[in-house]
Amino acid sequence: MLVDTADVEFWREENTLTIWQAAFLMHNIEPWDEPISSHAKVPKKVEDMRRRLLADVPHYETAQTFAQQGWSCKMQRPAQLLGPYFSREALIIWAGKNFSASEIPLFIAN
């Protein structure tokens, strides 16, 4: 699949993002349409960012983070992984702590 530069103006208007949208946008890459095929080759840096965001950024409604391990069954998962997941505000706060000012992703930069 193609790796296009993110449409920054469009994404600045979105207040909630899916997990994949946020992972792509953190690298200034236009998110792929979801659901992403299991045969698609997602860039490794996007896969890695997805894991980091799930572990560090809370769900926009429940304020819970998704533990990568330690859940004994699906019933214990803190939030659904499909659909809107991260708020713009939470991503801005997280990025401010994890990126230098010059590295802040363009879709959340002021």
Could you tell me if residue 106 is inside a domain?
Answer: no
Run of H or E including 86: strand 86-87
Is the model's pLDDT at 69 over the cut of 60? no
Could you tell me if residue 17 is inside a domain?
Answer: yes
Average pLDDT over residues 13-31: 96
Could you tell me if residue 107 is inside a domain?
Answer: no
Is the model's pLDDT at 66 over the cut of 80? no
User: Total structural domains in the chain?
Assistant: 1
- Of residues 63 and 28, which shows the higher confidence score? 28
Query: Domain range holding 52?
Result: 8-98
Could you tell me if residue 110 is inside a domain?
Answer: no
Q: pTM for the complete prediction?
A: 0.85
Q: Is 105 exposed, middle or buried (0-12, 13-18, 19+ CB in 10 A)?
A: buried
Check residue 68 and give its pLDDT. 61
Confidence of residue 84 (pLDDT cuts 50, 70, 90): very high
- Tokens found for residue 43: 């860039």
How far is the C-alpha of 7 from the C-alpha of 35, rounded, in Å? Answer: 20
Confidence of residue 76 (pLDDT cuts 50, 70, 90): very low
DSSP 26-38: TTTBPPPPSSPPT
Check residue 44 and give its pLDDT. 94
Is the model's pLDDT at 62 over the cut of 90? no
Could you tell me if residue 105 is inside a domain?
Answer: no
Could you tell me if residue 104 is inside a domain?
Answer: no
Confidence of residue 72 (pLDDT cuts 50, 70, 90): very low
Could you tell me if residue 59 is inside a domain?
Answer: yes
DSSP code, position 67: -
Could you tell me if residue 103 is inside a domain?
Answer: no
